[in-house]
Amino acid sequence: MKIGVIGTGLMGAPMALRLLSAGHRVWLYNRSPERLKPLELAGAKVCPTPRALAETVEAVIFMVTNGEAVRSLLDDMGLHEHPSPLSTCAIIQMGTIGPAESQALSQNIAEVGGTYLEAPVLGSIPEAKNGKLIVMVGAEDEAYQRWQPLLACLGSTIYHVGPVGSAATLKLAMNQLIGSLTAAFAQSLGLVQAAGIDVDTFMAVVRQSALYAPTFDKKLHRMQTRQFADPNFPTKHLLKDMGLFVAAAEAAGLSPLPAESVRQLVDQAVEAGFADDDYAALFNIVSPLPKSD
């Protein structure tokens, strides 16, 4: 199939390579063209504009920063034109955006005769490289059935959650757990270290308990060494997602706490200079290094 990919950052680039390895022909657009050269060398083709990409392919996968970026790119593709290039290619939005944003985009695309699916993913760079992402889909059943084989190139597990908005909501629920579990683990680890308790003993107890989550071991080394470079998921993206969760919770009539407290911790990490580092940098906020005299 002829597939477009917009957004070739930490996740988009390995996803594009997966599509190429599955035999799809891939066209790319990125606002930072220098990122496209390795993918071009691997066999992908570069389009000069989003519109040119939409006019070439059967489906466009979006893996960009936020809902505002998605809408801006769709506008560039001719979202409000009649006829629109978007009537002939499916839009598959795979980034993390708010459910209301996703529903509004779906309605706009339907108005020009197009097809829209939200398909946010759970997993990071290794899973994207290996096609082992968990894909959550919000779409009409016909659209899901049509594009499920394509999504299967990227994810080993695919859930049709429900209509547009439902998968975006589930994704926010999962990313809220990422932030809250990491903050809770960082605080417990910090207290254990401050008390002089052996970290191996702490982890042995945690691993044998019902409290254990694999993410604890994934972040342990980073927190112990305070090395947060080369992230799989940057802190600035977690801040955006925690904010989206808080807004969605409030819209649903739920208390935003404790997610708002975690959002504030993540915000502090961004303000402290860890925006582009791994979100394990939360450890430096809840367990700061002693100040030197």
pLDDT score recorded for residue 132: 98
Do both 157 and 225 map to the same domain?
no
Structural domain contains residue 291: no
Looking at the 3D structure of the chain, how many domains does it have?
A: 2
DSSP string, 219-256: HHHHHHHT---S-SSBHHHHHHHHHHHHHHHHHTT---
Residue 34 has pLDDT above 90, yes or no: no
Per-residue pLDDT of 53-96, as tens digits, reads: 999 999 999 999 999 999 999 999 999 998 999 999 999 999 99
Structural domain contains residue 111: yes
Structural domain contains residue 206: yes
Domain of residue 131, residue span:
2-163
pLDDT score recorded for residue 35: 81
The overall average pLDDT reported for the chain is 96
pLDDT confidence bin for 253, thresholds 50/70/90:
very high
Cα(155)–Cα(35) distance, rounded to whole angstroms? 23
Residue 292 has pLDDT above 70, yes or no: no
Q: Which of 139, 163, 187 is the last residue of a domain?
A: 163
Do both 280 and 201 map to the same domain?
yes
pLDDT score recorded for residue 293: 54
Do both 189 and 241 map to the same domain?
yes
pLDDT confidence bin for 45, thresholds 50/70/90:
very high
Do both 95 and 233 map to the same domain?
no
Do both 183 and 155 map to the same domain?
no
Do both 199 and 66 map to the same domain?
no
Q: pLDDT exceeding 90 applies to what percent of the chain?
A: 96
The pTM for the full model equals: 0.96
Do both 176 and 87 map to the same domain?
no
Do both 159 and 54 map to the same domain?
yes
Looking up residue 216, the CATH number of its domain turns out to be 1.10.1040.10
Q: How far is CA 188 from the centre of its chain?
A: 27
Per-residue pLDDT of 190-233, as tens digits, reads: 999 999 999 999 999 999 999 999 999 999 999 999 999 999 99
Do both 179 and 267 map to the same domain?
yes
Residue 123 has pLDDT above 80, yes or no: yes
Give the mean model confidence (pLDDT) for residues 88-113: 97
The first and second tokens of residue 24, run together, are: 């799809």
Structural domain contains residue 35: yes
Looking up residue 55, the CATH number of its domain turns out to be 3.40.50.720
pLDDT score recorded for residue 290: 82
Give the mean model confidence (pLDDT) for residues 116-136: 97
β-strand partners of 162:
138
Q: Which of 163, 192, 210 is the last residue of a domain?
A: 163
Structural domain contains residue 221: yes
Structural domain contains residue 243: yes
Cα(213)–Cα(215) distance, rounded to whole angstroms? 5
Q: Which of 104, 131, 163 is the last residue of a domain?
A: 163
Do both 55 and 181 map to the same domain?
no
Per-residue pLDDT of 144-174, as tens digits, reads: 999 999 999 999 999 999 999 999 999 999 9
Q: Treating both helix axes as pointing N-terminal to C-terminal, what angle do 235-251 and 166-194 enclose, rounded to 10 degrees?
A: 120
Do both 122 and 245 map to the same domain?
no
Structural domain contains residue 292: no
Do both 58 and 151 map to the same domain?
yes
Give the mean model confidence (pLDDT) for residues 122-151: 97
Structural domain contains residue 10: yes
